[in-house]
Structure 1
């Protein structure tokens, strides 16, 4: 009986203490519900538009797509390197000069053309126009140097072409 009398004596304090505990638990529960709602909102944004598929399947599918794109990127990179190497052997530098080869011929119908690649390898074409005949010469160029003697006009177009850069 002593327990009952003690409980009756402290009943208002016990009720106040239990009420405070219930209020604290309600606050914790509301905070937990709010956090759960935020998490559910983030989950819905993450899984939006997936038509009831497993999230793991979607992620694996995206990773497979990324691997495929990496392979394609490597193929494109290799092709670009091949094209870049081939481009160095193509004619990239051109210079042309028209001039009068002979004083007694009326116009500047003679010409010299330098056609060089990135390594300054190529050819100089020279056409000499005369009153009675015309002649065309081709002189190979290796690294900007000719094995054959060059005329002043040919040296001029060679120097101009060598100084042309495609940057």
Structure 2
């Protein structure tokens, strides 16, 4: 056996002064470290494989791709519907601005000889406090109804106390 070739190689790489036992011991330690790292990587790979199997639920790559595409299409559909719903809600809100939303009702006896509070003042207002007041006066001769227009919570015609109270109730100023 020719040891000179071997020792020439060791001398060439600069390890000629080191005892061969230390060299083997260092390589053994390095081998054990590499073995431990390999085992750790295998364990992590197995965990990742289990997570991936749970994620795909036994499906192949093609069906998983189709599922993801379907989810994106559903997302687009929901986004389009959400935008449409926002527009519809805005349209409804605009329509509701002009609808009569506020009401004030005051029942009263127009004449002392009449009982039962058969006369009334009814104020109907929208969001901008525009609307009208209906005043119905009940007497022994009949029932007479009058209307007065309200703009921005104000009436250009003088209001009776019952009409003022009905308007205040409708505007939320009085209960």
The number of residues matched between the two structures is: 161
Sort the Cα spacing of 1:53 and 1:15 in 2 relative to 1 into closer, same or farther, 3 A.
Answer: closer
With structure 2 as the length reference, what TM-score do the two structures score? 0.79
Q: Which 10-residue stretch deviates more, 16-25 or 101-110?
A: 16-25
Query: 1:98: Cα distance to partner?
Result: 0.9
Provide the rounded CA distance (Å) in 2 between the counterparts of 1:133 and 1:21: 113
Query: 1:62: Cα distance to partner?
Result: 1.8
Provide the rounded CA distance (Å) in 1 between the counterparts of 2:24 and 2:119: 117
Q: Quote the RMSD (CA, aligned, Å).
A: 2.4
1:127 and 2:128 correspond: no
Provide the rounded CA distance (Å) in 1 between the counterparts of 2:123 and 2:6: 119
Query: 1:64: Cα distance to partner?
Result: 2.1
Provide the rounded CA distance (Å) in 2 between the counterparts of 1:3 and 1:36: 45
Sort the Cα spacing of 1:133 and 1:4 in 2 relative to 1 into closer, same or farther, 3 A.
Answer: closer
Sort the Cα spacing of 1:129 and 1:19 in 2 relative to 1 into closer, same or farther, 3 A.
Answer: same
Unaligned runs of 5+ in 1: none
- Please give the residue correspondences for 1:153-164 in structure 2 after superposition, counting only pairs within 5 Å: 153-163=162-172
Unaligned runs of 5+ in 2: 11-18
1:37 is matched with which residue? 46
